[in-house]
Amino acid sequence: MKHLPVLIIGAGPTGLTLACELARRNIQVRIIERSAEYPNGSRAKGLQPRSLEVMDDLGIADELLAAGSTDLIFRRYNGNTLLGDVKREVFQRTDTRYVQGVIIPQWKVEEVLRAKLQTLGIKVELGTELINFSQTDNQVSAVLKTTQGEETVQCAYMIGCDGGKSTVRKALGINFEGETHEDERAFVGDVQVDGLTPDAWHIWLHPEVGFGFALCPFKCTDSWQVQTIALPDADGKLAEPGLETFRRLFAERTGMEGVTLKNATWASLYRVNVRMADRYRSGMVFIAGDAAHAHSIAGGLGMNTGIQDAYNLGWKLAAVLTEQANESLLDTYEEERLPIAAWTLNISSERQKIMTDSLKTGDGGLHTIGTKDTTQLNLNYRYSSLSKQNNEQPDGLQAGDRAPDGQLPDGRRLFDLYRGTHFTILKFAPANVSIERLSERYGDQVKTFTLDNEAAASFGSLANVYVIRPDGYIGLIANGTDETAISTYLDKFMIRQEV
Ligand SMILES: Cc1cc2nc3c(=O)[nH]c(=O)nc-3n(C[C@H](O)[C@H](O)[C@H](O)COP(=O)(O)OP(=O)(O)OC[C@H]3O[C@@H](n4cnc5c(N)ncnc54)[C@H](O)[C@@H]3O)c2cc1C
């Protein structure tokens, strides 16, 4: 019997991000994974700009960018006729370093996250499956099947990051409302390709099928991701996903000669599920990522939303486990993230329809999927009970908005000030709250910066002070002379230091 603060079930991108968030705050954590080996399938092909900002905070964005591509174009064909190239749309803005997402296979994202986690002293426990659990008011007892036999773990909190078929969600009796679109299926997989240059995402439109065939190359491997609509044959049966099926459909739907698909390392049948959990918490157990929401892959949001669930939950769990914050802080995880899941289900269904319709008219393709909103930079928690604003801010950012990045006159960027596990307070010349007093009171849990007034353009009023949460959202906008409001806000998340 062992006693542990946090047990994470599942080592996909959600579980790994959460483990990193906890480990870098010195919270002891175990992360278990049922599979005996790390997955090698490409699955999600990209990190959206907001997830890159999360990875920036973890110090691994540059490595991920180097392993992926941001400038891959779409090359469209109608059968074997080349229609031309289309660039991915870039939604220019100055408040982020990452205007474009990066195309990178999910296994690579997981590999980089695992390496980060290892530097923090935590290793994924492979071949270890949660098979049962029970809980009391203050602890969870989890039964694990390991390569050595059964083990019972006592932990304060357990987080189910165990994917769409989540054992944790089902055992908690949490509803997963929605629908499965049995008629929207696709074969997906990874193959090597001879006869095409890996400088573009090749997409074949097809007069009957619409989305005929797609082959997306990756920079960090010689494998390409296959996607092609799966339709039943005359007997109503679906083919088995695999190299033979990929080759047959490629020949039928593209008519292209001189291209060979070989060495399939992953093959799967994907069906669109549009569902979400009606609760994210039951007592001491939480769910996150695909365990909490499933939707179309159009818009590329699944992995990204899971990563951002974990980013929201991590700092809150750490604050409660170190007795800095009241337990009720954990309820704000569901309060903040469940509406984001609802939004994600809607936008990905909308993007799916737009893509399908545009493919039918023959002029569309995957380049129609991304929007300003699928960058996830515009998501906010304005509706959250943690978002407080006690001074007028008619223009500019509101409490709950994502804190912007931007260049500072001294060569630093705003994100350089936020990076880390602390709260950040930004003030401008007219604000007279005392940095020294706040530092004395809260030590290194809070970092305060006085900015050049020019930087105020990114925020709003010069007279206000902006308190930014560890996950980069503005928690409080307060009058710059109102030190009490700032302390009252911070006292919810940390204990004052003895002076
Ligand atoms: C073809 C395809 C394309 C996609 N494209 C995109 C895209 O472009 N962008 C995007 O954001 N998303 C995309 N997705 C979705 C993305 O893959 C998922 O949203 C993502 O994997 C969710 O991560 P997760 O960590 O929540 O769950 P998962 O990745 O499913 O990880 C859950 C882990 O938990 C483990 N597990 C399950 N039960 C147990 C148990 N009882 N005990 C221990 N371990 C357990 C599983 O083995 C698994 O490793 C795509 C998916 C597919 C299939």
Q: Do 72 and 390 form a contact (C-beta atoms < 8 A)?
A: no
Among 54, 88, 297, residue to substitute to test ligand 1 (most atoms within 8 Å of Cβ): 297
The structural architecture, per CATH, of the domain 388-490 is 3-Layer(aba) Sandwich (3.40)
Nearest Cα residue to atom 4 of ligand 1: 44
pLDDT band at 363 (very low <50, low <70, confident <90, very high): low
Report how far ligand 1's centroid is from the alpha carbon of 343 (Å).
Answer: 19
pLDDT of 263 higher than 90 = yes
Our answer on whether the CB atom of 109 is closer than 6 Å to any ligand 1 atom is no
CA 240-241-247 angle, 5° bins: 105
Residue 360 host element (H or E): helix 331-360
Fold of the domain spanning 2-69+99-178+273-375: FAD/NAD(P)-binding domain (3.50.50)
What are the tens digits of pLDDT across the range 115-149? Answer: 999 999 999 999 999 999 999 999 999 999 999 99
Among 103, 270, 295, 303, residue to substitute to test ligand 1 (most atoms within 8 Å of Cβ): 303
Our answer on whether the CB atom of 300 is closer than 6 Å to any ligand 1 atom is yes
Find, among 70, 272, 274, the residue nearest to 178 by Cα: 274
Q: What is the mean pLDDT of residues 150-176?
A: 98
pLDDT at 211: 80
Pick the CATH number of 181-272 from 3.30.70.2450, 3.90.1150.10, 3.40.50.12160, 3.40.50.300: 3.30.70.2450
CB-count exposure of residue 354 (10 Å: 0-12, 13-18, 19+)? middle
pTM: 0.96
Positions of CATH 3.50.50.60 in the chain: 2-69+99-178+273-375
Q: Is 497 helix (H, G, I), strand (E, B) or coil?
A: coil
Report how far ligand 1's centroid is from the alpha carbon of 290 (Å).
Answer: 6
Question: How many C-beta neighbours within 10 Å does residue 488 have?
Answer: 14
Question: How many C-beta neighbours within 10 Å does residue 257 have?
Answer: 8
Our answer on whether the CB atom of 34 is closer than 6 Å to any ligand 1 atom is yes
Q: Do 225 and 188 form a contact (C-beta atoms < 8 A)?
A: yes
CA 153-156-160 angle, 5° bins: 75
Q: Which atom of ligand 1 is nearest to the CA of 227?
A: 1
pLDDT of 167 higher than 80 = yes
The partner residues of 225 in beta bridges, in order of sequence, read: 190, 216
Q: What is the mean pLDDT of residues 196-216?
A: 91
Find, among 298, 389, 404, the residue nearest to 53 by Cα: 404
Nearest Cα residue to atom 33 of ligand 1: 10
As given in the structure block, the two tokens for residue 76 are 């469209």
pLDDT at 351: 84
As given in the structure block, the two tokens for residue 303 are 């992995």
Amino acid type, 93:
R
Positions of CATH 3.40.30.120 in the chain: 388-490
What are the tens digits of pLDDT across the range 8-28? Answer: 999 999 999 999 999 999 999
Q: What is the mean pLDDT of residues 170-188?
A: 91
Residue reference for tokens 């007069």: 207
Our answer on whether the CB atom of 406 is closer than 6 Å to any ligand 1 atom is no
Residues 129, 150: Cα–Cα separation, whole Å = 10
- First and final C-alpha spacing in the chain: 40
pLDDT of 155 higher than 80 = yes
What are the tens digits of pLDDT across the range 68-103? Answer: 999 999 999 988 899 999 988 889 999 999 999 999
pLDDT of 228 higher than 70 = yes
CB-count exposure of residue 194 (10 Å: 0-12, 13-18, 19+)? exposed
Our answer on whether the CB atom of 189 is closer than 6 Å to any ligand 1 atom is no
Residues 22, 27: Cα–Cα separation, whole Å = 5
Residues 335, 387: Cα–Cα separation, whole Å = 12
Residue reference for tokens 């990209």: 46
pLDDT band at 391 (very low <50, low <70, confident <90, very high): confident
Q: Do 462 and 452 form a contact (C-beta atoms < 8 A)?
A: no
The partner residues of 76 in beta bridges, in order of sequence, read: 84, 203
As given in the structure block, the two tokens for residue 42 are 């490409």
pLDDT of 364 higher than 70 = no
Find, among 21, 91, 89, 110, the residue nearest to 314 by Cα: 21
pLDDT of 465 higher than 70 = yes
Q: What sign does the dihedral 356-362-364-365 (CA atoms) show?
A: positive
What are the tens digits of pLDDT across the range 290-308? Answer: 999 999 888 889 999 999 9
Q: What is the mean pLDDT of residues 277-284?
A: 98
What are the tens digits of pLDDT across the range 450-463? Answer: 988 777 778 888 88
Residues 10, 125: Cα–Cα separation, whole Å = 10
Q: Do 427 and 433 form a contact (C-beta atoms < 8 A)?
A: yes
Our answer on whether the CB atom of 31 is closer than 6 Å to any ligand 1 atom is no
Report how far ligand 1's centroid is from the alpha carbon of 107 (Å).
Answer: 10
pLDDT band at 356 (very low <50, low <70, confident <90, very high): confident
pLDDT at 103: 97
pLDDT at 499: 60
Find, among 290, 288, 296, 295, the residue nearest to 312 by Cα: 288
Q: What sign does the dihedral 486-429-50-38 (CA atoms) show?
A: negative
pLDDT of 104 higher than 70 = yes
pLDDT of 319 higher than 70 = yes
Q: What is the mean pLDDT of residues 211-220?
A: 94
The string of DSSP letters for 187-250 reads EEEEEEEESS-TTEEEEEEETTTEEEEEEEE-TTSS-EEEEEE----TTSPPPPSSHHHHHHHH
Phi first, then psi: give them for residue 400, nearest 5 degrees: 105, -15
pLDDT of 188 higher than 90 = yes
Q: Do 390 and 380 form a contact (C-beta atoms < 8 A)?
A: no
pLDDT at 366: 63
* Residues in CB range of 333: below 8 A, 6 or more apart: 280, 281, 286, 309, 312, 313, 316
Q: What is the mean pLDDT of residues 413-420?
A: 96
Positions of CATH 3.30.70.2450 in the chain: 181-272
As given in the structure block, the two tokens for residue 332 are 């704000």
Higher-confidence position of 111 and 464:
111
* Alpha carbon distances (Å) from 260 to 146, 287, 464, 475: 42, 42, 62, 54
Nearest Cα residue to atom 21 of ligand 1: 303
Nearest Cα residue to atom 50 of ligand 1: 44
pLDDT band at 1 (very low <50, low <70, confident <90, very high): very low
* Residues in CB range of 416: below 8 A, 6 or more apart: none
Q: What is the mean pLDDT of residues 222-240?
A: 93
Find, among 235, 214, 229, the residue nearest to 181 by Cα: 229
pLDDT at 355: 77
CB-count exposure of residue 218 (10 Å: 0-12, 13-18, 19+)? buried
Mean confidence (pLDDT) of the chain: 93
Nearest Cα residue to atom 8 of ligand 1: 300
